[in-house]
Amino acid sequence: VSSGIRGVSSRSGKVEKLTVFGAGLMGAGIAQVGAQNGFKVILSDVTDKALQNGLNIISKSLSRIGKKTQPDDVEGFTKGIMDNISTTTDAGEAVEEADLVVEAIIESLKIKRDLFGYLDTKAKAGCIFASNTSSLSITEIAQSCSTERQMRFAGLHFFNPVPAMKLVEIVRTTHTSDETYETLRSITEQMGKSPVTCKDTPGFIVNRLLIPYLLDAIRMVERGDATPEDVDKAMELGGGYPMGPFKLLDFVGLDTASYIAQGWREKSGSGGISEEVVKPIPLLDRLVKEGKMGRKSGKGFYDVP
Ligand code: CAA
Ligand code: NAD
On the CB side of 235, CA atoms within 13 Å amount to: 18
Q: Which of 37, 53, 132, 134 is catalytic?
A: 134
Q: Which of 45, 101, 105 to mutate to test the pocket of ligand 2 (most atoms within 8 A of CB)?
A: 105
Angle between helices 245-252 and 228-237 (to 10 degrees): 110
Task: Assess whether 137 carries a catalytic annotation.
Answer: no
Residue located nearest, by CA, to atom 4 of ligand 1: 164
Alpha helices in the chain (DSSP H): 25-36, 48-69, 74-82, 91-95, 109-122, 138-142, 147-151, 178-190, 206-222, 228-237, 245-252, 254-266, 275-278, 282-289
Q: Which of 10, 59, 144, 157 is catalytic?
A: 157
Determine the pLDDT at residue 1.
43
Residue located nearest, by CA, to atom 43 of ligand 2: 159
Determine the pLDDT at residue 273.
87
26 is in an annotated binding site: yes
How far is ligand 1, taken at its centre, from the CA of residue 194, in Å? 15
Are β-strands 13-15 and 167-172 bridged in parallel, bridged antiparallel, or unpaired? unpaired
How far is ligand 2, taken at its centre, from the CA of residue 26, in Å? 6
SS3 assignment, position 10: strand
How far is ligand 2, taken at its centre, from the CA of residue 107, in Å? 6
Q: Which ligand is nearest to the CA of 25?
A: 2
Residue located nearest, by CA, to atom 29 of ligand 2: 104
> 83 near 112, Cβ under 8 Å?
no
User: What is Dmax (Cα atoms) for the chain?
Assistant: 57
Determine the pLDDT at residue 6.
79
Q: Which of 84, 103, 135, 169 is catalytic?
A: 169
Whether the model clears a pTM of 0.90, i.e. scores above it, the answer is yes
Average pLDDT of every residue of the chain:
95
- Spans in the chain with pLDDT lower than 50: 1-3
Q: Which ligand is nearest to the CA of 32?
A: 1
25 is in an annotated binding site: yes
ipTM > 0.95 (yes/no): yes
DSSP conformational letter for 303? B
Q: Who lines ligand 1 at CB under 6 A? A: 61, 64-65, 68, 134, 159-161, 163-165, 206-207, 210, 242-243, 248, 252
Q: What percent of the chain has pLDDT over 90?
A: 90
Task: Assess whether 132 carries a catalytic annotation.
Answer: no
Task: Assess whether 175 carries a catalytic annotation.
Answer: no
Determine the pLDDT at residue 101.
98
Angle between helices 254-266 and 245-252 (to 10 degrees): 90
